[in-house]
């Protein structure tokens, strides 16, 4: 599902190494429908492309499949962002994504919305 991937940068107003006051670089990553181990290389590339952003917004609304390897990659990305003083937020999260994170106890750590009860 590589065609579903997108990386978008907004608001990077830097000139000669000086950021405008109040300017904050934001990047958006659209997660693919299949977020399993086969997609790890592409996802790592997406995360590397937004590594300098202060705010990264992940859109996981279309995610249909996840595995532990993907959730581990998300945790690593989150830790790297935290280490640089960046932040992670969600523009959408599918039930599959939130349920997978919930099963591993990662909902709060990843700041995902709670899974909906059936």
Q: Which tens digits make up the pLDDT trace of 54-85?
A: 999 999 999 999 999 999 999 999 999 999 99
SS3 (DSSP) at 1: coil
Find, among 55, 44, 51, the residue nearest to 90 by Cα. Answer: 55
Q: Which tens digits make up the pLDDT trace of 83-106?
A: 999 999 999 999 999 999 999 999
Which pLDDT band, with edges at 50, 70 and 90, does 47 fall under? very high
Separation CA 88–CA 66 (nearest Å):
19
User: pTM of the entire structure?
Assistant: 0.74
Please provide residue 7's backbone torsions phi and psi, each rounded to the nearest 5 degrees. -130, 130
Domains of the chain, first to last: 26-118 (3.30.750.24)
């Amino acid at each position: 599902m590589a065609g579903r991937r997108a990386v978008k940068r907004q608001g990077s107003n830097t000139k000669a190494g000086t950021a405008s006051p109040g300017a904050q670089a934001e990047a958006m990553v659209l997660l693919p429908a299949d977020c399993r181990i086969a997609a790890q290389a592409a996802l790592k590339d997406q995360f590397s492309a937004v590594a300098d952003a202060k705010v990264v917004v992940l859109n996981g609304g279309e995610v249909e499949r996840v595995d532990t390897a993907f959730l581990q990659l998300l945790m690593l990305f989150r830790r790297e962002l935290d280490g640089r003083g960046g932040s992670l937020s969600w523009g959408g999260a599918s039930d599959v994504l939130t349920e997978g994170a919930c099963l591993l106890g990662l909902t709060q750590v990843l700041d995902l919305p709670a899974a909906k009860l059936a």
